[in-house]
């Protein structure tokens, strides 16, 4: 199993709860805005601690409230792709990609640039990129961090139709060719039906 998750966390007046088991491939957390999808993603990443529960990814226990296990954010090795890319504006694309990269990662900078079709962007500044280009760079940065799994939070939400299709094809290649477990957040039913092997409604 790629993901075995059962978590509960109270955030103000809202109780965020989620429990599922999913096989390899892309698992989507689907539901309306404000349902707690990103909070679940952040619990898996280690950015938000559940009040109780258990998080297992690819057979490794990352969090278990019963045993007191709580692996650090860095040791979880999650590649996180945010909705807005979050590229560093003062760094060119090449340096954004190399930030936090690992020598023993999935692939080299050259391999990642070829895989994502962004080799021609390496010397550009983030402000000169289209939305689709920026998201492909953000995906590349996550890939180069030597992740054990990928977390994607609404990576298509801010893109127009053409850019959405461009990035969706990239995500399909990630899913099919790299074999990394992917936990993917979206409120778009057509999007998750196309990408996900398993859909968890929240």
Chunk the chain into consecutive blocks of 10 residues (it has 202) and report each block's average pLDDT, rounded to whole numbers: 93 93 94 90 97 96 97 94 88 92 80 91 95 91 91 89 87 90 94 94 91
60-64 sheet: strands from edge to edge = 14-22, 3-11, 52-57, 60-64, 69-70
Distance between terminal CA atoms of the chain? 20
What is the reported pLDDT for 83? 82
What is the reported pLDDT for 40? 97
The domain of 184 spans: 3-201
What is the reported pLDDT for 76? 95
Residue 36's region, left for phi above 0, alpha for psi from -120 to 50, else beta, is: left
Work out whether strand 52-57 and strand 26-30 pair parallel, antiparallel, or are unpaired: unpaired
CATH number, domain of 77, equals 3.40.50.300
Q: What is the pTM of this model?
A: 0.91
Cβ–Cβ under 8 Å, residues 83 and 37: no
Give the three-class secondary structure for 158.
coil
- Find, among 158, 190, 176, the residue nearest to 26 by Cα: 176
What count of Cα atoms within 13 Å lies in the side-chain half-sphere of residue 176?
Answer: 9
- Total domains in the chain come to 1
What is the reported pLDDT for 16? 94
Strand ranges (E), the chain: 3-11, 14-22, 26-30, 52-57, 60-64, 69-70, 78-81, 149-153, 182-186, 198-201
Rg for the chain, CA atoms, rounded? 16
Q: Which residues contact 56 (CB under 8 A, 6 or more apart)?
A: 1, 3, 4, 5, 62
Question: pLDDT > 70: what percent of the chain?
Answer: 99
**What six digits make up the tokens of 153?**
């939070």
- Find, among 98, 168, 100, the residue nearest to 132 by Cα: 168
Q: In whole angstroms, what is the distance from residue 170 CA to residue 158 CA? A: 16
Q: Tell me the per-residue pLDDT of 43-87, one tens digit each, with 9 for 90 and over.
A: 999 999 999 999 999 999 999 999 999 999 999 999 999 887 789
Q: Where are the alpha helices (DSSP H) in 52-91?
A: 73-76
């Amino acid at each position: 199993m790629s993901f075995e998750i059962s978590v509960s966390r109270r955030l103000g007046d809202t109780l965020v709860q989620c429990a599922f088991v999913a096989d390899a491939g892309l698992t989507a957390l689907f539901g309306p805005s404000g349902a707690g999808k990103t909070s679940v993603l952040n619990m898996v990443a280690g950015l938000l601690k559940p009040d109780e529960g258990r998080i297992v990814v690819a057979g490794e226990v990352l969090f278990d409230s019963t045993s007191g296990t709580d692996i650090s954010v860095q040791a979880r090795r999650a590649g996180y792709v945010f909705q807005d890319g979050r590229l560093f504006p003062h760094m060119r694309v090449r340096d954004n990609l190399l930030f936090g990269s690992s020598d023993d990662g999935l692939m080299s900078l050259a391999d990642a640039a070829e895989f994502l079709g962004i080799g021609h962007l390496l010397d550009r500044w983030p402000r000169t990129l289209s939305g689709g280009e920026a998201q492909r760079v953000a995906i590349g940065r996550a890939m180069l961090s030597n992740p054990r799994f990928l977390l994607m939070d609404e990576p298509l939400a801010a893109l127009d139709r053409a850019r959405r299709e461009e990035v969706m094809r990239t995500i399909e290649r990630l899913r099919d060719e790299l074999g990394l477990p992917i936990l993917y957040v979206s409120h778009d039913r057509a999007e998750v039906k196309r990408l996900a092997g398993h859909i968890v409604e929240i």
